[in-house]
Amino acid sequence: MYLSDPPIGAKVSRQSVGPTRHFGVPVGYDEHGTKYFAHNSPVCGGVCLVSAREFSQGKPLRIESVPAPGTEGAIVSRALAMQGQRYDLVCFNCETYANFVTEGRAYSGQVRVVAVGAGIVLGAIGLYYMNRAASYDRNVGRFRDRRGRFKR
């Protein structure tokens, strides 16, 4: 669901680079009515607060999850308590932060997808090279190359 003004404590994302999304959590307003988001960004080096305009970068915001009634305060407290934590692409990225703050579990579905994809690609490369390698012919007790010729 896309909204221009997501509720406080919601897990929110916007399009980032390519198919990836950038996650954050709206945490409140300042005295001028400007909404602020907490997010974990390599640009600011970790968890920081930015205005809604800065967070969205002019892109539509998608609400990933809405807090259960009465939990907004705890979510905001967790989000603000983590300010200054350092960014890490694999172990503590924007999605990991938003999931931990809103759900209490630190994980990143995007990193998981990339890791599984990399494993599949590396496995396929390994199988390709295994099939190109020499094989042992038990009948004659010698190795054959991939063309079936005996190796020296």
Give tens-digit pLDDT for 42-59.
999 999 999 999 999 999
**Domain containing 79: what range?**
11-107
Identify the CA nearest to 98 among candidates 149, 139, 61: 61
Residue 102, in any domain of the structure: yes
CATH number for the domain harbouring residue 53: 3.90.1720.10
Q: What is the pLDDT of residues 102-152, one digit of tens each?
A: 999 988 977 666 566 667 777 777 767 766 666 777 888 888 777 778 776
**For the whole model, what pTM was predicted?**
0.72
Residue 42, in any domain of the structure: yes
Residue 46, in any domain of the structure: yes
Residues 21-36 have a mean pLDDT of 96
pLDDT for 133 equals 66
Identify the CA nearest to 28 among candidates 60, 76, 99: 76
Residue 76, in any domain of the structure: yes
pLDDT for 18 equals 84
